[in-house]
Amino acid sequence: MSVDNLIRGPYRQRLLNYRRTAAAIRFANRKCPSSSLVFMQIRARNWTHGMQILPLLLALLVFTALSRPAHASELTGAFEAACERTPDIPALAARRAEISAKADAADALLPGGPWTTLVHRTDALTNDRGTREYEAEFGVPIWLRGERGAALAAALTEGERIEAEIAAKRLAVAKRVRDAYWMVAEAREKLVIAERRRATASALAKSLRDQSQSGQAQLVDTKLADADARDADAAIAGLRSELNQAKIAFEVLTGVAAPAAFREHDSRSAAPSNHPRVVLRAVAIEKAKADESLVWAVDRERPEFSAFANNNTDTNAEPNVTSLGVRLKIPFAYDALNEPKRAAAAAEVVAANEELALAEREVSGDVAQANARLDGARQQLAALEARRQALGSVVELTQSAQRAGQSELNDLIRARLQLFEADLSRVTARVAVQRARSDINQALGIEP
């Protein structure tokens, strides 16, 4: 077995495993698209160290694909629809065929196509002594030592990079879907509060109109109550417009209506090291190293081996002579051309390592910021709950005083307006707490 075969052997097994895994990922995307991220992360960490666990991973993937829908969140369907509508993800998935073709090329018998040369020589236009020569040559290029393994490794690491990039793109879509949903959820909650305020204001206005007709209420109080009811109508119109806009934005992104409710999965078992952005940078290092190995392997032109047949007719010699031969072209390396390529490849490895370190810092920072936002949102919600409770007591006291004739109607309307604003602030804070939980899962790389 040649040295090249020794190098290429493990990569041939990796090629087979890659194709099996790609098929499993496509199956998982049909059954449970969110499971492909988990499997890709496991595969990226283990392919270069131990291929014997692949059957176990495949079994785990199939089990996850079949069981995952029972634990899917309310937003999973919309998220998957948004991924299908995002051009970058199908385009990257289509490149799996390209990777397979590159791997096939690296595993082929020849590094390039064969060639042939036809030669005819005659002296008919010079001294015309009857010299006639015909030659046909057929040759093939030969792999450089280590080139096949390096080329196959480059193709496989490119495939792993594409899978990691798909996961990163999916996570970016997840953020957009989460943000769009929480816009809808917040608008829904605010509209409910506004409708409750209109019902209260309309009931007060109707009561005062009835009292005014019987002479028990002043006309100015009736007008104030009507104005408050119209202000409630205006608030509803504005909030309903916001809700419709949020729904349209969500449907444009996903193609489906926003779910009625959504609850994030528990993120306690997640780790920043599994974040798709970190995995993508880690795979990029392997890709850069594979490219560097390929640069070192391809340090000259490929050798060529050819066989030829020559037929020579000369009147001064034997009338017809046919000969056979072989030719071997052996190029040599030239450092003046190789050193710039090697230096550039080494620089790519350094850059990939630095990008991985930056991604790890950014992900850790994002997780810390998301936790800080959750703590702040919880504190703000607690304060707004206390404020709303206090204003609720003020409204009850003012309403009792107004009925007893000890307070003006304007005081009651003002207290109710403050209570309405407090309800809106409390709803915004409650949604902010839920959004902060989504931000934590997003920062950890968890899909909805």
Residue percentage of the chain with pLDDT more than 90: 51
What's the pTM?
0.76
Average pLDDT of the segment spanning 370-397: 90
Query: In Å, how far from its chain's centre is CA 169?
Result: 2
Pairing mode of beta strands 132-141, 321-329: unpaired
Q: Does the pLDDT value for residue 272 go beyond 60?
A: yes
The domain spans of the chain are 3-443
Residue 43: predicted pLDDT:
39
| Whole-number pLDDT of residue 153 | 92
The percentage of the chain sitting over the pLDDT mark of 70, rounded to a whole number, equals: 81
d(CA 225, CA 223): 5
Q: For residue 4, is pLDDT > 60?
A: no
CATH class of 3-443: mainly alpha
Amino acid residing at 38: V
Nearest to 185 by CA among 256, 243, 265, 237: 243
Per residue in 221-234, pLDDT tens?
777 878 888 888 89
Average pLDDT of the chain is: 81
Do the strands 304-313 and 115-122 form a parallel or antiparallel pair, or are they unpaired?
A: unpaired
- Using the 8-state DSSP alphabet, how is residue 128 labeled? -
Averaged pLDDT for residues 202-230? 74
Please, what sign has the CA dihedral across residues 382, 383, 384, 388?
Answer: positive
| pLDDT for 2 beyond 60 | no
pLDDT beyond 50 at 388: yes
How confident is the model over 405-423, as pLDDT tens digits? Answer: 777 777 878 888 888 888 8
Is a pLDDT exceeding 70 seen at residue 316?
Answer: no
pLDDT at 217: 55
pLDDT band at 70 (very low <50, low <70, confident <90, very high): very low
Average pLDDT of the residues in 261-274: 80
C-alpha dist (Å) from residue 340 to 194, 267, 310, 352, 438: 69, 47, 42, 18, 47
pLDDT at residue 30 is higher than 90? no
Helix, strand, or coil (residue 50): coil
pLDDT digits over 118-159, tens only? Answer: 999 887 788 777 778 899 999 999 999 999 999 999 999 999
Q: Identify the helix (H) or strand (E) that includes residue 251.
A: helix 219-254
Q: Is the pLDDT of residue 164 over 80?
A: yes
The predicted-structure confidence for 87-128, as pLDDT tens digits, reads as follows 999 999 999 999 999 999 998 999 999 999 999 988 778 877
pLDDT at 62 over 50: no
Over residues 342-367, the pLDDT tens digits come to: 999 999 999 999 999 999 999 999 99
